[in-house]
Structure formats: structure tokens, C-alpha cells
Amino acid sequence: MTAIERIASAVVWGLAAFTVVFLLTPLVVTVLVSFGSSAVFTLPAPSWSLRWYQALGRSRELWPVVATSVQLAAASTAIALLLGTLCAIGLLRGQFRGRDGIVTFLVSPLMLPGLVIGIAMLESFRAAGLRDVWLSLILAHVVITLPYVVRTVYAALSLFDFTLIDAARTLGLSYPKAVLKVLVPSLAPAFLTSGMFAFLASMDNYPISIFFTDAWTKTLPIQMLQYVEESPDPTIAAISALLILLAAAVLVIGDRLVGLRRMADL
């Protein structure tokens, strides 16, 4: 390795390390603050304590909101997986004009600001006479989670050999059973990956959910904003730390399940 190559390698590694530190520092600070005993956001903390996690355990407002967010994320993820898979199959196997445009349109919710999408859906739902909070939230969250499923499953389907379904049918399986026996197991890693991202995106969504919640139905990000406005103490840091733990746990479990799936295929 020449001197220029060593310098270039050092610069690349330095930039990578700076980027990692820059991205992880807010998360580390949030977790540390959540274990402080001070009633304000102070770091370093005067002493370490679990008082803010104990306060979460005694909260009567938090857990119903968490249950609402989990139910909403689970429902929207399940619907997005079903619709996204059908869309991906139709886009990959179908032969029609404008297919590339439809693919781009389906991922457009990731390209537009959340507030713009929220206002547009709010006006659309009101024009259609849709005023039910739960149905509005589910539809809105399906829109923002669908791109994760479509892009992931579409990429996985592009590597799938559809002649395997024909081979399964020649062995006596009906078309639906051939799809369930051959296609679905092959797409299991894509389902798992896209489902994880869709679930986390739904749990963490704020700019769209704020347009459809009311005083009786709130999601966790909306409740966190209310905590910041009414009682800005490290309780919000404890909630954020638990959300970081949830995201890390989902990613680790998903990675292990994908690994086990690949070992089973071998």
C-alpha cells in the first residue's frame, strides 16, 4: 500500500468514525440523562437513579397511549405487508405502460415532508366524509409504511425464480398452495425486514399522526410532545431510552431470525 493509499484510507476511516460519533452522541446523551436524579436535563448527573423509569411505571396516561401505538403499528404493518406484496408482484410481473412511474409514486411518501402528506390526507379524508379517528390513523399509517414493504419485497422478487412455482404446480399443488409453499418462504427475510421498518416507522410517526388524533386517542409521539410542553423533566428521556431499546431489540431479533432462516435454507 502506497503512502497516498494509506492517507486516503485514514481519511475515510476518520470520516466514518466522525459520522458514527455524530449520529450516536444524541442517543447516548438521552440514555445518560434518563438515569440522572436531577429534575432537569443535566449532564453529568449529580447522581444516578431510576426515578424516571419508576415514574413511567406509575404513569396512568402513558400505558394506554403505548397500547394504542402498538395496536396501530401492528395493524398498519399487517395491512402494508399484504398490499405491498400484491403491489410488488403486480409491478414485477405485469407488463403495462407507466410501471416505473407507479413504482416511484408508491415510494413518494418517503420523499415528501410529513406535514405536507398529513395536510393532504386530512383534506382528502374530510372531503370523503371520513371522520373516524382509528380508521383515519390506520389509513394514514398504511400510506407511510407501504413504501418500505413495496421496495423491499420488489427487490426480493426480482431475485426469485418464478419457474419454481410452475414446477410446484406440476407436482400436484394448486396455484395458491404453490405460492404459499414456495414463494412465501423465499420472501420471509424480505417480509421480516420490511415489517420491522414499517412497524418502527409507524411507532415513531408524529407529523402525520398529529392531524388525526383527538383528546381520547393519542399516539406515543403525540403524548411525548405533550410531556415536553407540560412537564419538561427527564421522564421524556426515559421514554426515549425505552424506544431506543425497542428499536435495537427489533433489529437484533430480526437479524437473528434472518440468519436462522438462511441456515435452514442451507
> Could you read off the pLDDT tens digit of each residue along the chain, which spans 266 residues?
677 778 888 889 999 999 999 988 888 888 888 887 777 777 777 778 888 888 777 777 778 888 888 889 899 999 999 888 888 888 887 777 777 778 778 888 888 888 888 888 888 888 888 888 888 888 889 988 998 888 888 888 888 877 888 788 888 878 778 888 888 778 888 888 888 888 888 888 888 888 887 777 788 888 888 777 777 778 888 888 888 888 788 777 777 766 666 665 55
Residue type, 96: F
Which pLDDT value is given to residue 174? 81
Give the residue among 219, 210, 216, 214 at the shortest CA–CA distance from 119: 210
Phi-psi region for residue 161, left (φ > 0), alpha (ψ -120 to 50) or beta?
A: beta
CA distance 37 to 42: 9
Which pLDDT value is given to residue 19? 92
Which pLDDT value is given to residue 2? 77
Task: Supply the pTM of this predicted model.
Answer: 0.79
Which pLDDT value is given to residue 62? 78
**In the chain, pLDDT over 90 holds for what percent of residues?**
6
Q: Is the dihedral of CA 116, 118, 121, 122 positive or negative?
A: negative
HSE-up of 96 (CA within 13 Å, CB side)?
10
Q: Quick check: 144 and 202 in contact, CB under 8 A? A: yes
Residue in the block written with cell 399484504: 82
Q: What is the pLDDT of residues 29-64, one digit of tens each?
A: 888 888 877 777 777 777 788 888 887 777 777 788
